[in-house]
Amino acid sequence: MDLATFLVQCLNAVQYGLLLFLVASGLTLIFGIMGVINLAHGSFYMLGAYLAFALAPWFGDWFVTRLVAGVALAAIFGYLLEWAFFSFLYERDHLQQVLLTYALILVFEELRSILVGNDVHGVPAPSWLGGGFRLGSLMEYPWYRVFASAACLVVALALYAVVQKTRLGMMIRAGASNRDMVRGLGVDIRRLYRIVFAGGVALAALAGMIAAPLSSVYPNMGASVLIICFVVVVIGGIGSITGALIASLLVGFVDTFGKVFFAEWSGVGIYLLMAIVLIWRPEGLMKRGF
Amino acid sequence: MASDAVAGTAVVDSVADVGALPDIARREPGGWLVPAAAALVVAALPFFVSPYGQDLVLRIAVYAIFALSLELLVGATGLVSLGHAAFLGIGAYATVLGSGSDGASLAWLLPLAVAAAAAYAVVVGALSLRTRGVYFIMVTLAFAQMAYFVVHDTKAAGGSDGIFLYAKPTLAIGSTTLVDLGNRAALYYAVLVALAFTYAFIAMLLASRFGHALAGIRVNEQRMRAAGFATTPYKLAAFVVAGALAGLAGFLLAVKDGAVNPELLSWHESGAVLLMLIFGGIGSLRGAVLGAVTFTLLKELFQSEALLGPLAPHWQLTLGLTIIAFVAALPRGLIGIGAQLRALARERAARAARNAA
Amino acid sequence: MQSIRLAWPAVAGALLAAASIGATAQTSGPIKIGLMLPYSGTYAALGTAIENGFKLYVQEQGGKLGGREVQYFKVDDESEPAKATDNVNKLIKRDNVDVLVGTVHSGVALAMAKAAKDNNTLLVIPNAGADAITGPMCGPNIVRSSFSNWQPGYAMGVVAGQKGVKRAMTITWAYAAGAESTKGFTEGLEKGGGKVIKDLTLPFPNVEFQALLTEIAAQKPDAVYAFFAGGGAVKFVKDYAAAGLNKTIPLYGPGFLTDGTLEAQGASAQNMLTTLHYADNLDTAKNNAFRKAYAIAYKSQPDVYAVQGYDAAQILANGLKAVGGDLSKRDQLSAAMRKTAVDSPRGKFTLSAAGNPVQDMYLREVKGNNNEFRSVAVKALADPARGCKL
């Protein structure tokens, strides 16, 4: 493999990893702060993609506006879902959470089938992000992929800023360490959890919206993302955003280079990575912390 | 609870915390008579029931063995594994791969399937038991996914379409065939015997010193260690036995279906068997069997066009909502209905007494 | 526990009652047709199209086949090979169907073929292209109305050879259908003097293609042959165009790369050449009439899957007509199904001894939202049916 190809593959790995990070960050927040295993997280990703498809005719080329609108809708949906369903899961043990959210996947898939149908749909990228730039004589790299990576990085920084530098972030971190103490101090922890959950859903939906022009929307699209996200979250350390970032990039590299060098075994690679990390550091790369 | 996840006692405590679960080694009402009677009824069924019905019973029985094997891990030891289907699948694949195109003798094919599953369980167990709580759940999932992808992606195991079993195993001494699993009646009774064996074996295991040690680990592992028990070998032993029994279920499944497929190792299958346990009630062997019956019949019901007409294609919705209702309303499963109703009645009586006073 | 113990006799009674209802009528009464298709999941749209096509033909015959009414039983196979045996047994043993029709996914279809052979049930396959079904697993009671994976691939290889392609690469998922399709392409190409320099695969159903697209760009072949379906097809064609590869390295594929996916693929698929046994705008009386009737009945445009469903019903009808609706004359029925030429919207075709269509493969080009007919790539192409003993 020559240097040019190697660099391009690295670019591919980073771009895939960053998109994974966006979905995984939502999952690690929900998992870490509220201790809820949410198998339906892939469905939120799918929700975002289908939102991108549904909102496209209304917003045309105003892509960023479309993203903002979609995120807002998803956040509202998440808020309501937490109030109606997830708030009852905190007292339950992990097994029940696994099964309840698994059932939720079935329900969402069927609702999607009933409401939107089973066809595959394309979502066009906005025209101002069309085309690409040439990577030497090798191939073109689409501008949209650059935008996607940049957007993920911006969100990562924003997330970091919110969690480390704001009052809300402080309450989130406190609630993660000691829920009862925070409640005793007068903070409405139920509303806090609702906000965090809505944030997690919004992040996953945003990832789906950004990915939609790249992957198109189709039935069961959440399933493949879900398991890989769990792998990322567990490798990075549950509740750690920085960990999720590092882990996503690792997974991106293992997946990309695995495909090129070990075609048959590339599927196994990610799980091998997870098993190795967990055996070396049973609580993930970054322990509790952000 | 989030902070407890790191210490790892959360899952262990919370399984025991869902009310006073029936202690798995405690005598349940009816003792041995109830399972024995059920076995007799099932043995007599082929005389009353259509071939399709017999297939259904067979399927339920094989899944009951699978569920029982997981009960040993989840209910008895408190270890929630999201990768148990890997052992089912490995047992099934070993069966088909070992049969080749001419079929094989039951005498070594069955031990092979069980041993293959047990071998993988030793490896997975030894490595996963270093983690706790939700990390344990995830590591078991990871190992199951690895096995899934090896079977799904590589040519060695036939790829994503699976492989067929061309000749069913037989047991022969010299030139006389004692048992031919290609014969439907023989298979039916063989599966029934296997189910009875599994049930009895686990029941006896749990009543023994080993079983009591597992119960102690489930309730409070630190206390067990303080009392001088090396808990890891016990957990590993439970893990391997559970894996071996799942391999047995896999063997029977491969023989019954005549085909194996990578989806047998998928996390959906692992999730389904956990659902069976929770439907039936965790902490009870009868619950495991009842859960297998319930889950299979529910799925049949929801997909049946004859019974549900236009709702049948939307079975994902009906099944999903039913699962939510079940898990939410009956955390102790069907077996626990009696106890739950009694607890409710007691609460109501106590409240009435308080109001009257 | 009382209630559980009491339940068993009730269950037994119910099952007994159900069993007695399912008695098979061989010569009179309605014909029971078991449709085992994907009604949920990725291939749900294909399952619906096939059923629509099948029912359209029956409707055109006045609701009867071979003079007998038709009764449908449906099972959702979820495109899950693991559950296939259980699902097909629902139709064979619970509903006692006379004819099995299905399915889309090759892995499921293989299980159906095995069950059909074990129970000697008639099976008509309206899509699944697994070569093995009309290869080692062929049987007189198994007929296919669609194609074998090898056929479109071979035709495309021949076209590529004619266009002067000397070095080609293939890319597909690592599963039987992909391997069979690329094998067909390789054979067709080698006939024209070219060769495949590298076969790229990725695990099914992974759709992260960037790494492999970079590999293609590095190798600079004369052409690329890709086999993907559904969501994967959409993504691949779009990614290929986004990487600018479609400007320098032509992308070829079987029709599945662009069938039912053009609305999603948009500009990225324009002018792509594919081969398939059908093209939307085939200007024949039969095709025009079919498309019109389908649009009126189902308010949507038919695709190749609908045609395959339609022809499945037609093949069955041909056989039933020859025996006057008498299913007990199985040998005659099977022979008639195979021997009668089929007047399909795709053009007339016949069936090989192994049960696979011997049909014209068309070269199509994408224009707008249609795959338009350009020429006949290979006339009356028969699958080699390797391993079939018929």
Query: Could you tell me which residue, C49 or B2, shows the higher pLDDT?
Result: C49
Query: Could you tell me which residue, B46 or C20, shows the higher pLDDT?
Result: B46
pLDDT band at residue B27, thresholds of 50, 70 and 90? low
Look at residue B313 and tell me whether its pLDDT is greater than 80.
no
pLDDT band at residue C253, thresholds of 50, 70 and 90? very high
A266 with A257: CB under 8 angstroms?
no
The average pLDDT across A158-172 equals 87
- Cβ of C244 within 8 Å of Cβ of A122? The answer is no
Is A150 within a domain? yes
**pLDDT at position A250, please?**
94
Residues 68-97 on C with a CB inside 8 Å of A are: none
Identify the bridge partners of residue C196 per DSSP, sorted by sequence position: C168
- Cβ of B2 within 8 Å of Cβ of A239? The answer is yes
Domains of chain B plus CATH, in order, are 2-356 (1.10.3470)
**pLDDT at position B22, please?**
44
* Domain membership of residue A189 as a residue range: 22-226
Give, in order, the Cα–Cα distances in Å from A153 to each of A24, A160, A170, A245.
13, 11, 22, 10
Is A106 within a domain? yes
**pLDDT at position B289, please?**
93
**pLDDT at position B152, please?**
86
What are the pLDDT digits (tens) for B97-110?
998 877 788 888 99
* Average pLDDT along chain A: 85
- Cβ of B161 within 8 Å of Cβ of C80? The answer is no
Helix axes B267-280, B285-303, angle to 10 degrees: 110
**pLDDT at position C18, please?**
44
pLDDT band at residue A123, thresholds of 50, 70 and 90? confident
For the record, the structure tokens of A251 come out as 């997974």
**pLDDT at position C8, please?**
46
- Cβ of C218 within 8 Å of Cβ of A2? The answer is yes
Is A51 within a domain? yes
Among A46, A114, A118, pick the best mutation site for testing chain C contact (most C Cβ within 10 A): A118
pLDDT band at residue C10, thresholds of 50, 70 and 90? very low
What counts of helices (H) and strands (E) characterise chain B? 16, 4
Q: Of A249, A271, A258, A264, give the one whose Cα is nearest residue A16.
A: A249
How far is residue C36's CA from residue C31's CA, in Å, rounded to a whole number? 16
How far is residue B168's CA from residue C326's CA, in Å, rounded to a whole number? 35
In three-state secondary structure terms, B348 is: helix
How far is residue B31's CA from residue C75's CA, in Å, rounded to a whole number? 41
Give, in order, the Cα–Cα distances in Å from A62 to each of B140, B174, C27, C66, C73.
45, 80, 65, 59, 49
What are the pLDDT digits (tens) for B274-294?
999 989 988 889 999 999 999
What are the pLDDT digits (tens) for C188-227?
999 999 999 999 988 777 778 888 898 899 899 999 999 9
pLDDT band at residue B21, thresholds of 50, 70 and 90? very low
**pLDDT at position B26, please?**
57
Q: How many domains does chain A have?
A: 1
From C247's Cα to the closest Cα of chain B, the distance in A is 32
Look at residue B340 and tell me whether its pLDDT is greater than 90.
no
What are the pLDDT digits (tens) for C148-161?
999 999 999 999 99
- Cβ of C42 within 8 Å of Cβ of A220? The answer is yes
How far is residue B2's CA from residue A286's CA, in Å, rounded to a whole number? 16
Amino acid at the residue C293: A
What are the pLDDT digits (tens) for C295-326?
999 998 898 999 999 999 999 999 999 998 88
Which residue from B minimizes the CA distance to C82? B261
% pLDDT > 90, chain B: 38
Q: Of C312, C304, C306, give the one whose Cα is nearest residue C355.
A: C312
What are the pLDDT digits (tens) for C28-37?
789 999 999 9
Look at residue A229 and tell me whether its pLDDT is greater than 80.
yes
- Name the least confident of B36-40, B175-179, C4-8: C4-8
- Cβ of B259 within 8 Å of Cβ of C80? The answer is no
pLDDT band at residue C20, thresholds of 50, 70 and 90? very low
Per DSSP (E only), the strands in B222-283 are 259-260
pLDDT band at residue B23, thresholds of 50, 70 and 90? low
Look at residue B67 and tell me whether its pLDDT is greater than 90.
yes
Mean pLDDT is highest, among A236-240, B194-198, C117-121, C210-214, for: B194-198
C1 interface with B at CB cutoff 8 Å: yes
How far is residue C353's CA from residue C204's CA, in Å, rounded to a whole number? 32
* End-to-end Cα distance, chain C: 56
**pLDDT at position C347, please?**
92
A289 interface with B at CB cutoff 8 Å: no
The average pLDDT across B85-89 equals 97
Look at residue B1 and tell me whether its pLDDT is greater than 80.
no
Is A218 within a domain? yes
* Average pLDDT along chain C: 87
Residue written as token pair 């106590």:
B350
**pLDDT at position B283, please?**
86
What are the pLDDT digits (tens) for C351-370?
999 999 999 999 999 998 88
pLDDT band at residue C142, thresholds of 50, 70 and 90? very high
**pLDDT at position B284, please?**
87
Nearest to A107 among B10, B139, B321 (CB): B321
**pLDDT at position A132, please?**
82
Is A170 within a domain? yes
How far is residue B181's CA from residue B199's CA, in Å, rounded to a whole number? 22
Look at residue B85 and tell me whether its pLDDT is greater than 90.
yes
- Cβ of C211 within 8 Å of Cβ of A9? The answer is yes
- Cβ of A132 within 8 Å of Cβ of C217? The answer is no
Identify the bridge partners of residue C168 per DSSP, sorted by sequence position: C196, C223
Residues contacting C154, CB < 8 A, separation 6+: C184, C185, C187, C188, C361, C378, C381
Among A93, A264, A272, pick the best mutation site for testing chain B contact (most B Cβ within 10 A): A93
**pLDDT at position B208, please?**
92
C235 interface with A at CB cutoff 8 Å: yes
The average pLDDT across B229-245 equals 94
Residues contacting B195, CB < 8 A, separation 6+: B39, B61, B64, B65, B68, B289
Look at residue C19 and tell me whether its pLDDT is greater than 50.
no
How far is residue C106's CA from residue C92's CA, in Å, rounded to a whole number? 19
Length, in residues, of chain C? 390
What does the radius of gyration of chain B's CA atoms come to, in whole angstroms?
21
Look at residue A165 and tell me whether its pLDDT is greater than 70.
yes
pLDDT band at residue B16, thresholds of 50, 70 and 90? very low
How far is residue A82's CA from residue A34's CA, in Å, rounded to a whole number? 11
Is A252 within a domain? no
DSSP string, chain A: --HHHHHHHHHHHHHHHHHHHHHHHHHHHHHHHH----TTHHHHHHHHHHHHHHHHHHHTT-HHHHHHHHHHHHHHHHHHHHHHTGGGTTTS-HHHHHHHHHHHHHHHHHHHHHHH-S--B--PPPGGG-SEEEETTTEEEEHHHHHHHHHHHHHHHHHHHHHHHSHHHHHHHHHHH-HHHHHHTT--HHHHHHHHHHHHHHHHHHHHHHHHHHH-B-TTHHHHHHHHHHHHHHHH-TT-HHHHHHHHHHHHHHHHHHHHH-GGGHHHHHHHHHHHHHHHSTT-SS-S--
What are the pLDDT digits (tens) for A85-111?
888 888 788 888 888 888 999 899 888
Amino acid at the residue C276: L
What does the radius of gyration of chain C's CA atoms come to, in whole angstroms?
22
Identify the bridge partners of residue B172 per DSSP, sorted by sequence position: B177
Nearest to A12 among C205, C210, C218 (CB): C210
Domains of chain C plus CATH, in order, are 26-147+282-359 (3.40.50.2300), 150-276 (3.40.50.2300)
What are the pLDDT digits (tens) for B106-164?
888 999 999 999 999 999 999 889 888 888 888 898 899 889 988 888 777 888 778 88
Look at residue B299 and tell me whether its pLDDT is greater than 60.
yes
For the record, the structure tokens of C100 come out as 């099995």
* Average pLDDT along chain B: 85
Nearest to B153 among C83, C89, C203 (CB): C203
Which residue from A minimizes the CA distance to C232? A215
The average pLDDT across A66-87 equals 91
Q: Which residues of B touch C176 (CB under 8 A)?
A: 159-161
**pLDDT at position A17, please?**
94
Q: Of C253, C246, C303, C305, give the one whose Cα is nearest residue C274.
A: C253
pLDDT band at residue A263, thresholds of 50, 70 and 90? confident
Query: Could you tell me which residue, C152 or B307, shows the higher pLDDT?
Result: C152
Nearest to A260 among C45, C215, C261 (CB): C215
Look at residue B230 and tell me whether its pLDDT is greater than 70.
yes
Per DSSP (E only), the strands in C128-241 are 142-144, 167-173, 195-202, 223-227
Is A284 within a domain? no
For the record, the structure tokens of B87 come out as 């052992």
Whether this model's ipTM surpasses 0.85 comes out as: no
